[in-house]
């Protein structure tokens, strides 16, 4: 292979709700601490990427010579194995990876169609990678385009019409499955984003005045209940007694290991437990109790057909918007790829022209240098124009075409930055 030609390409690799169940996704979940370790290792190796790890998916988007480079990083910093990854993974390459990010950010790929919580998670993932130095110009431009498309889809379509999210689905599950839900003792454990939304949905969609809230950091609970006085705060050390008192336990602690174990639960007590965490924060053994109903995020993500039907009808509008932003991004990308190649070709042809004119001016008496300059410059312009048309053809492999050009005209490929830009 010609020196200077990089074979790195854009990949998006990962596992999601489409192929992996909750337990498997939990194994591939990457903690915040490990995300930072992964990004630092990538930086040391000169790898440009960002990491997204949510309850529904864990993905790495970045550049590599082979996707296994990214897969090995994912498995190293999670509890997943390469063998398991192969069974449930999705791998998107180059333009497919670009398409995937656009669909992801606009809610089309969400487990609950149109759920835009992923947008905030994408922003956090991108910001974290940028702060740690693993974002290049390509990824920066791509993410800007993706987020602009997401904003426009949300503002100009009904893809997110009707309130649906895991936290909303949890409250709806309580409403649909407990006849006297307004009189039940409900304990919410965990006050992250999911916990806050759950409390707000309980306040909005029920008349229950017996909601208790516990969080590891008590100060966060105090601040939250000041704005939501109907919720009763409790201390972490009272968790066991509050669970004993609860009819419904909603767990949204977001820890890497279970925060609710079998020892917390009275096996004789009838209780509904909703685990909104990823990985699961309720230990498996709890489900074995005959009086306990344990529901996880996959079951909660089954929203009504009516809502989904309305949202599905909006997908074509969303895709039209996506195509506009994808086209703009690809035009920028093509310009970025083609300009150095065209410049290099033009410079190579100009050098040949100058050498030949110098040769003939010495060889032929009264050789008209000015006329030769005009004719050959015109020829160079026509050749480069034709080459531009060739490179812009959708059936052209840009990297291969530039390699051929380098062999024919002796262009120095080290001067051409085509790294990871071939769609």
Residue 46's pLDDT band, with cuts at 50, 70 and 90, is very high
Instruction: Give yes or no: residues 223 and 345 share one domain.
Output: no
Instruction: Give yes or no: residues 24 and 156 share one domain.
Output: yes
- DSSP-derived letter for residue 13 is E
8 Å CB contact between 49 and 101: no
Average pLDDT over residues 164-186: 88
Task: Tell me whether residue 209 is in a domain.
Answer: yes
pLDDT for 111 equals: 83
Task: Tell me whether residue 37 is in a domain.
Answer: yes
Range of lowest pLDDT (288-297, 300-309, 334-343)? 300-309
Query: At which residue do the structure tokens 């889809």 appear?
Result: 153
Residue 305's pLDDT band, with cuts at 50, 70 and 90, is low
Task: Tell me whether residue 2 is in a domain.
Answer: no
8 Å CB contact between 189 and 214: yes
Using alpha carbons, select from 397, 358, 330 the residue that is nearest to residue 405. 397
Six token digits for residue 311: 């949202």
Please write the tens of the pLDDT for every residue from 80-128.
999 999 999 999 999 999 999 999 999 999 888 888 788 999 999 999 9
Range of lowest pLDDT (158-167, 284-293, 379-388)? 158-167
Q: Report CA 274 to chain centroid distance, whole Å.
A: 26
pLDDT for 135 equals: 96
Average pLDDT score, the chain? 88
Q: Where are the alpha helices (DSSP H) in 193-274?
A: 193-205, 218-227, 239-245
Residue 410's pLDDT band, with cuts at 50, 70 and 90, is low
pLDDT for 164 equals: 60
Average pLDDT over residues 153-164: 81
Instruction: Give yes or no: residues 155 and 202 share one domain.
Output: no
Residue 40's pLDDT band, with cuts at 50, 70 and 90, is very high
Range of the structural domain that residue 185 is part of: 166-302
DSSP string of 334-387, one letter each residue: HHHHHHHHHHHHHHHHHHHHHHHHHHHHHHSTT--HHHHHHHHHHHHHHHHHHH
Please indicate whether residue 43 or residue 402 has the higher confidence score (pLDDT).
Answer: 43
Residue 163's pLDDT band, with cuts at 50, 70 and 90, is low
pLDDT for 39 equals: 98
pLDDT higher than 70, residue 304: no
pLDDT for 162 equals: 62
Instruction: Give yes or no: residues 109 and 65 share one domain.
Output: yes
Looking up residue 131, the CATH number of its domain turns out to be 3.30.460.30
- Catalytic residue status for 212: no
Instruction: Give yes or no: residues 152 and 177 share one domain.
Output: no
Task: Tell me whether residue 146 is in a domain.
Answer: yes
Burial 170-204 (b: 16+ CB within 10 A, else e): bbbbbeeeeeebeebbbbbbbbeebbbbbbbbbbe
Task: Tell me whether residue 259 is in a domain.
Answer: yes
DSSP string of 85-110, one letter each residue: HHHHEEEEETHHHHHHHHHHHTTTTS
pLDDT for 419 equals: 41
Average pLDDT over residues 382-404: 79
Task: Tell me whether residue 3 is in a domain.
Answer: no
Among the listed residues 55, 75, 199, 212, the single catalytic one is: 55
Instruction: Give yes or no: residues 175 and 222 share one domain.
Output: yes
Average pLDDT over residues 245-250: 96
Instruction: Give yes or no: residues 75 and 104 share one domain.
Output: yes
Residue 395's pLDDT band, with cuts at 50, 70 and 90, is confident
Residue 3's pLDDT band, with cuts at 50, 70 and 90, is very low
Instruction: Give yes or no: residues 172 and 145 share one domain.
Output: no
pLDDT higher than 50, residue 241: yes
pLDDT for 303 equals: 57
Instruction: Give yes or no: residues 118 and 21 share one domain.
Output: yes
8 Å CB contact between 273 and 286: yes
Task: Tell me whether residue 422 is in a domain.
Answer: no
Instruction: Give yes or no: residues 155 and 15 share one domain.
Output: yes
Residue 420's pLDDT band, with cuts at 50, 70 and 90, is very low
pLDDT higher than 70, residue 363: yes
The domain total for the chain is: 3
8 Å CB contact between 201 and 168: yes
Looking up residue 183, the CATH number of its domain turns out to be 3.40.50.720
Task: Tell me whether residue 51 is in a domain.
Answer: yes
Which residues pair with residue 261 across a beta bridge?
none
Instruction: Give yes or no: residues 43 and 137 share one domain.
Output: yes
pLDDT higher than 80, residue 45: yes
Six token digits for residue 337: 């790829």
Please write the tens of the pLDDT for every residue from 273-298.
999 988 889 998 898 898 999 998 88
**The total number of residues written for the chain in this structure:** 423
Instruction: Give yes or no: residues 138 and 227 share one domain.
Output: no
């Amino acid at each position: 292979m010609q020196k200077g030609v990089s074979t790195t390409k854009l990949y998006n690799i990962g596992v999601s709700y489409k192929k992996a169940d909750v337990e498997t996704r939990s194994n591939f979940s990457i903690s915040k601490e490990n995300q930072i370790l992964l990004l630092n290792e990538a930086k040391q190796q000169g790898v440009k990427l960002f990491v997204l790890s949510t309850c529904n998916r864990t993905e790495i988007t970045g550049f590599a010579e082979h996707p296994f480079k990214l897969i090995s990083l994912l498995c190293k910093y999670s509890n997943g194995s390469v063998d398991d990854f192969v069974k449930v993974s999705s791998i998107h390459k180059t333009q497919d990876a670009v398409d995937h990010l656009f669909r992801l950010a606009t809610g089309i790929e969400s487990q609950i169609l149109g759920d835009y919580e992923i947008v905030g998670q994408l922003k956090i993932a991108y910001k974290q990678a940028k702060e740690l130095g693993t974002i290049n110009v390509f990824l920066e431009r791509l993410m800007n385009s993706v987020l602009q498309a997401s904003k426009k889809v949300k503002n100009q379509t009904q893809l997110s019409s009707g309130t649906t999210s895991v936290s909303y689905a949890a409250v709806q599950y309580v409403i649909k499955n407990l006849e006297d839900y307004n009189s039940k003792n409900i304990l919410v454990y965990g006050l992250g984003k999911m916990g806050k939304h759950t409390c707000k949905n309980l306040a909005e969609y029920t008349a229950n005045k017996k909601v208790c809230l516990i969080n590891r950091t008590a100060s966060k609970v105090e601040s939250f209940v000041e704005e939501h006085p109907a919720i009763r705060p409790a201390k972490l050390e009272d968790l066991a007694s509050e669970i004993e008192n609860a009819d419904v336990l909603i767990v949204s602690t977001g820890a890497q290991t279970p925060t609710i174990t079998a020892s917390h639960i009275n096996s004789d007590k009838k209780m509904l437990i909703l685990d909104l965490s990823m990985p699961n924060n309720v230990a498996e053994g709890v489900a074995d109790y005959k009086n306990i109903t344990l529901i996880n995020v996959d079951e909660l993500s089954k929203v009504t057909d009516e809502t989904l039907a309305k949202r599905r009808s909006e997908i074509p509008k969303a895709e039209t918007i996506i195509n506009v932003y994808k086209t703009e991004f690809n035009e920028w990308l093509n310009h970025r790829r083609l300009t150095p190649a065209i410049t290099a070709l033009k410079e190579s042809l100009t050098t040949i022209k100058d050498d030949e004119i110098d040769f003939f001016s010495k060889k032929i008496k009264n050789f008209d240098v000015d006329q030769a300059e005009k004719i050959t410059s015109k020829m160079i312009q026509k050749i480069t124009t034709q080459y531009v048309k060739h490179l812009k053809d959708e059936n052209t492999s840009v990297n291969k075409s530039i390699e051929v050009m380098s062999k024919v005209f002796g262009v120095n490929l080290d001067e051409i930055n085509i790294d990871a830009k071939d769609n």
